[in-house]
Amino acid sequence: MKTSIIGLIIFINFILHSTLFQHIELKNVVPNTSLILVVCFAINSKKDKGAIIGFIIGLIQDVIFEKVIGLNALAYMLIGYIIGTTNRNIFKDNPIIPFVFTALATVFYYGISLLVIYLLGYSLEYFNILRFMLPFEIIYNSIISVFVYIYVSKIFKSIKNRY
Amino acid sequence: MSNKIFKNKSVMIVTIVTIILIIIIGLTSRQREEMNILETWAGNAASPFQRVVNTGANIISEGASSIFSFTHLKKENIELEKEVESLQEELIKARLNRDELEELRGLKFALNYIEEEDDFEPIVANIVGKSPSNWFDIFTIDVGENKGIKKDSVVLASNGLVGRVYEAGENWAKVIAIIDNNSSVSFQILRDRTFQGILSGSITNELTGYLFDPMAEVVVGDKLITSGLGIYPHGIIIGEVIEVAMSSDQLLKTVKVEPYVNFKRLNKVLVMAPQIIRNE
């Protein structure tokens, strides 16, 4: 039951992220809803689930869109796992939590992806990306994550109450 | 005790998967000849859904933008009328040129020249999804190998060059736009074909590039077309120069170019099969 709901959300997010959300970009930045979902699921679920969900979301995204396969899967899996290991010690009802975690996760995602891309020898404007895109995306992602988090934790709570 | 073992176990699994992923990244980072089965299968499964949602999203966004741009329409109409007038003049000139060309072709045939035929057959494709990544400008289209599209097919829009096919699946293909950071196009200036150079993408929607000849006379407003070096055929329009500068060491003339294609509002593209280099 729970798995099928999560799977459905992942699938819908993937479709929307590549189509509808491309229209709401600001300053060349599209909010990374996949990352937000990984963070919100990882906070709410048990520790290993976060890593698995991150891995699946990342792999789907890599296979269909990216030139290099495994990059997003790696980043999302590590994010899911790290958040999963810390989530016993935090208050889950506070809306600051998803905000802070998403901000940190965005920084982490940028760090690890840009490092791998750099090591693979792709030419990117690393300096401009860090200067113009990163601060904006942190804020954009974090604000959206608060709303997504409220909805996701509702789903998890209702499932818990039912059983 | 058992808890500790369990914890170590999950750490171990994550580490192993990380190492495997790094190996996969290394293996797939180079340009491949063909997609693997997983990629083809996933793309085939997802592209119909993306197509439906994307069509809906485009209709909504076009509707919304047309409401807001209502005041611009009148201005645009006047501009378009002017453009039609100038185009009609050009058309007359082009007809005269065509007659001349026919004559010359006839002469060529008489002199037994070998005819070079451009047998491009453009295929219309819809864009079904854009890469969620903010760094790469990659999108997927809804035609693939079933319509004869291969790696390095050239992708065009009605008003200019869009990019090239990176990988083709059965009924879908990944396209790299020219505004992608890793893409580069060789260009020449429409006014004078001796001025050539190379353009590459950036994180914004502009192209930056440099000219081979630092003394080349380039001014703002110059139109650029592809020069025929590399995979893009000669004579496809790219965009307009919006800034000219010398590089900091005064050795290269750099240009900033705005492409004619609006990559944000792109829905339909034309795809042409790659140029075949014949060795005779």
DSSP string, B201-264: E-SSS-EEEEES-TT----TT-EEEE-S-TTSPTT-EEEEEEEEEE-TTSS-EEEEEEESS-GG
Question: Residue B184's closest chain A neighbor by CA?
Answer: A123
Domain carrying residue B81? 71-110
CATH number of the domain at B202, please: 2.40.10.340
Is B57 within 8 Å of A19 when comparing Cβ atoms?
Answer: yes
Residue B167 domain-assigned (yes or no) = yes
Least trusted range by pLDDT, from A44-48, A99-103, B80-84: A44-48
The residue extents of the domains of chain A are 2-22+29-158
- Please count the other Cβ atoms lying within 10 Å of the Cβ belonging to residue A113: 17
**pLDDT band for position B280 (cuts 50, 70, 90):** very low
Domain topology for A2-22+29-158: Arp2/3 complex 21 kDa subunit ARPC3 (1.10.1760)
Q: Is B141 found in the same domain as B224?
A: yes
Highest mean pLDDT among A12-16, A23-27, B46-50: A12-16
Q: Give B85-136 pLDDT, tens digit per residue.
A: 888 888 888 888 888 888 887 777 777 766 555 556 778 888 887 877 777 7
**pLDDT band for position A159 (cuts 50, 70, 90):** low
- The percent of residues in chain B predicted with pLDDT above 90, rounded, is 0
**pLDDT band for position B211 (cuts 50, 70, 90):** confident
Q: Give A83-108 pLDDT, tens digit per residue.
A: 888 867 777 777 788 888 888 889 99
Looking up tokens 């045939």 gives B109
Q: Which residue has the higher pLDDT, B130 or A115?
A: A115
Is B203 within 8 Å of A132 when comparing Cβ atoms?
Answer: yes
Q: Which residue from A14, A33, A129 is facing B135, i.e. has the nearest CB?
A: A129
As a whole number of Å, the CA-based R_g of chain A is 15
ipTM above 0.85, yes or no: no
Contacts of B21 in chain A (CB under 8 A): 70, 73-74, 77
Give the pLDDT score at B9.
75
Is B205 within 8 Å of A28 when comparing Cβ atoms?
Answer: yes
Distance between CA atoms of residues A81 and B259, nearest Å: 42
- Alpha-carbon gap: B35 to the closest alpha carbon of chain A (Å): 10
| Chain A CB within 8 Å of residue B57 CB | yes
The token duo for B136 is 């790469």
How many structural domains are present in chain B?
3
Helices (H), A30-133: 33-44, 47-65, 71-86, 96-120, 126-128
Contacts of B131 in chain A (CB under 8 A): 18, 65-66
Q: Which of B63, B273, B91 is nearest to B173 (CA)?
A: B273
Q: Which residue from A33, A64, A68 is facing B140, i.e. has the nearest CB?
A: A64
Give the pLDDT score at B274.
58
